[in-house]
Structure 1
Amino acid sequence: METIQKIAVIGAGTMGPGIAQALATGGYVVSIWDPVAEARERGKSRLSDGVETFVRNGTLDQEQAEKIKQRVTFAASLEESVAQAGMIIEAIVENVEIKKTFYRELSKQIDKNVIVASNTSALNIFEIVPEEMLPQQLIMHWYGPAQLVPLVEVIKSEQAPQAYADAAMEVLRRCGKAPVLMKKFIQGYIVNRLQQCLNREVFYLLDNDICTAADIDYAAKISFIPRAMVLGFCIHARDPINAWATSSTPEAFKKVNALVRAKCPDVIINNTCVGGRRFDEEKNVMLPNLLYSLEAEPEVGSVDITCYSMIRNMKDRKEPLKSPREAFKWNYNYMCTQNDAVRTTKLMQEKGIKPEFEVFGINDLKYVDTMMKENSISAPYWFQMLFGGSGIYPCAEVMMTVTKLLPAESLFSVIGVGACQSAMIALAIALGHHVRVGLEDNLFYGPHDLAKSNAQFVERVVRIAKELGRPIATPAQAREMMGLGAPRSYTY
């Protein structure tokens, strides 16, 4: 077979730009195509950010970086992308019907001697592609971030010649990867199945009271796992004078983001509270929009799409606590109009920040329709709904009703406030949703039992998820689900 010189990467979402960067680093000409123009533009930015990260870390010099970027082009059509390509890597959304439609169209565009490899994470692609394409079909399963993680698991269809698998392995080795050729397809491949074994043994140790979670974490960190990974952090930077209030300076968010990234290289960084405005009753004025965290450029930013008012009696803070003060009554009035929401999400889109919509009432969902019409948001949509406290009434009927009102391609996460937290997160997990927990939402682990740390809440979620057969996502899997690219770098 002919030497491969050009490779087409289909899909400019979570994995595509990183795969393209790795291939271009290996000297290949790469053409990326995505049917969504916005995704292509985001892909360009992610590719550039990924290459420049290597420059900042001293892995590449600027001349090498420019050559890598010049080898990658973004095509306007599938036909343009696959023209003269010796290999095609499919990295589109994990949806059977969408993949079937894509492969039917692809089969009309390419010759029978072109190698086609799917980056599918969980689907048996050999049962999805048209039968006539099986002699040229492989699986090439990359791990995110694709430009960083060496391992790629390769599988060929029974009908494909061994020469195609050998050619794929050679491509990957030329790109500095460490490929493994598997004999046949199995869900989870190699590493994900090993990871599930590890998860099972962790639960066995905890359930049988053999050691503590802290013991397991410490033993893992200093032995076979160089770093611990979690799904994502929702970060509140605090005002140094009034510790109960969110900071109004971008520098505070930048500092916290950098500190978190230094400890957790893969975790998703989510900064809080942008978009709305507060009303100062004493001065009778509307304060400016809360947009401070946008300058810190988090990967995800929360937009509280609601209007509410509350009065809280704040107890006194005495030394040695920081920021001691007398007791006072706090009048908090917040509003986020539809214009505020549209303006904020457009700003976030310009900065490549994914909006996370915090919903406090069912009526707040009307904001989303407006934002979709204004093209200020794109799928997949990320919603977190507040149950209890100043949010939605916490009961099963309301949760099931709310989920029916969400737009298609939505990810839905539940926040349980106060005493209803355990019941709401258990219900959410059972219904197939995601959850958020932490000391911001609930100070008590149980009745009259103050929580010692956020870790207690996370450990409880993991136990519930295990009992209900819901695996916990890794940061890479979460990035793929949310349509995020490689982890952003933060310095301060």
Structure 2
Amino acid sequence: MEIKNVAVLGSGTMGQGIAEVFAIYGYNVKMEDISEEILNKALKKIKESLVKLEQKGQLFGKTSDEVMSRISTFTTIEEAVKDADLVIEAVPENLDLKKKVFSEVEKFVRKETIIASNTSNIRITDIAKDLKYRDRVAGLHFFNPPVLMKLVEVIKAEETSDEVIDVLVDLVKKIGKYPLKVMKDTPGFVVNRINAPESLLFCLYIDNKVATPEEIDAYFKSQGLPMGPYELMDYVGIDIVYDSLEYFAKTLNPCYGKCNTIKELYNNKMLGMKTGKGFYDWSKGRPLIDVKKATDKVSMMDVLALEINEAVKLIEEGVATPEDIENGVKYGMNRPYGPISVAKSFTSMEIKSKLEELANKFNCNVFEPAESIKNGLLRDAVEGRLKKKEEEGKRKEEGKKEGAAEIKEGKVISAQQYKTIKVEKYENKVAKIILNRPKYNLISGELLEELEKAIKYLWNDPEVNVVVITGEGNVLSAGADLNEFVGSSFQFLENSRKGERVFQLLSEIPKLTIAVMKGYALGGGFELSLACDLRVGTEDVQIGFPEVTLGLVPGWGGTQRLSRIIGLGKAMELIVTGQRISGKEAYSLGILNKIYKNPDEEVMELAKSIAQNSAPLAVAMVKRLLNKGSQVPIDVGLEMESFAMGVLFSTEDLKEGIISFLQKKKPEFKGR
């Protein structure tokens, strides 16, 4: 369906802005309101806005008069909507009023006309409840001011057709906006839903006398925000905040109705800037807030944790994708980042602890952590890897069969299955990459590609400090899969470079890596192990480079790494003879760091110990100093070492380590 004619019902700030946007982009717009006087005021404001845009050269070569000619006004719904392809309702935020307008619209529009609401909070399903053709009703939520703000939420009600959503998403792109697809109808949709717990928190700060509005605003302004939360509430209107919280109290959680201070201001008609007084006195203009009065009783982390928590809830409920949530908050709130990117800097435990602290402090279950955060799956949620409930149930059933191993290794908090490898994350900040091509776990081109993805997936994960690499069954890997077709010598060269690049990632990832050498660790399997920081294995594991006996050389870093570990002479001997050595011999040469009887189980204790007792930033620095420092003159290496000391001096982990040492307690390092 092609949209040409648009009707906008309501000519207030949002209505006139929406009408202006569509007219700028060449659509014919009919704007309706209850009187000519109101409509004329709206036209005057639109004209003023267009003149400014024209002066800035932002009308795409059109004139303000040309754009204005596309807007006509009406005082009856019938005349405004009868030829419309799309009707957008922009009347005050009142459910009964919106339902009345929609019922009136349905009488006069064509059957195929799309009817949309610009509501900022009210579920579209509730507005459309009494309509006959509910499949053509959707939400089209613009942000204020519509001409400047890039975001439009496209909301799918319970009975909205997929075709209608597709048409609206395409339309939003055509008018130069970012369409955030809200695929499940929820109060507040995405952006306002994420903001809701913050508004509640700011209310409870004041109700519980944590600090004064000015002290809290001063703190947030000192953090770089243009407005503090109470100044912003005054600016938006206390009545808007009150109505939103009351609606959320009815539809989301009764705790949203706890805001006594907001209720008092609302009942006393102290609505902020519009009435001259709210939290502040606006009678003489914008209030002056002294940043020197900033309180230390609140924290930016309070707000960040709530935003992350609500974003995860939206992901769990299937309301929107992580990408759309991130962009929605960025474009809807005019910020450089959203909660998804912020979440990647924290662990589930850190966010969980902060949320539980807030929930207990204010006796408010709105602040309680989402299920994914409780279960250590924050990273999986924000990176779009949450399993459906039925899949998760199946995984838990399978996990019961592995009970003994799970007790020894720690609880698996997430698992990711590729075609040739598996990735498991454990609650003790350890991850395991498992080569999964039984019976010899041969390394194919596909396995290399998936290994690269897995390494990058774990690279910046704050919930992982140590990565263990092992093979499915009793073998690490017997080497490269020689059955793969290679079309030319150049292609064979590129395959070698590809393996070198992937294994190099293991030496550069800012996590400690441990290879489990068992059964066979031959050729590429040996090279994979050498690329890791530590190696453990069994006494009888068979280790070696058979390449020379096949007319090749170790081509994934083996010639370079082995000599650095055991010396040039012994490395030369092992490579040119192609001989195999046992794990016991490898231990005596310094190839293996530990000999284990049950390496897959015992390595987890080593990994857990390092993950929990060694500061992750210090480990990352040590890894770089040893790997890179050994390749440069000693004076350059010493300079690198002093720089590392300087960087680590400013970290929270150093303070935690010293305090824990003095207090004789176990440190809780956070990687910051």
Between Structure 1 and Structure 2, whose CA radius of gyration is higher? 2
TM-score normalised per structure 1: 0.46
Higher RCO (C-alpha 8 Å, min separation 6): 1
Whose helix fraction is larger, Structure 1's or Structure 2's? 2
TM-score normalised per structure 2: 0.34
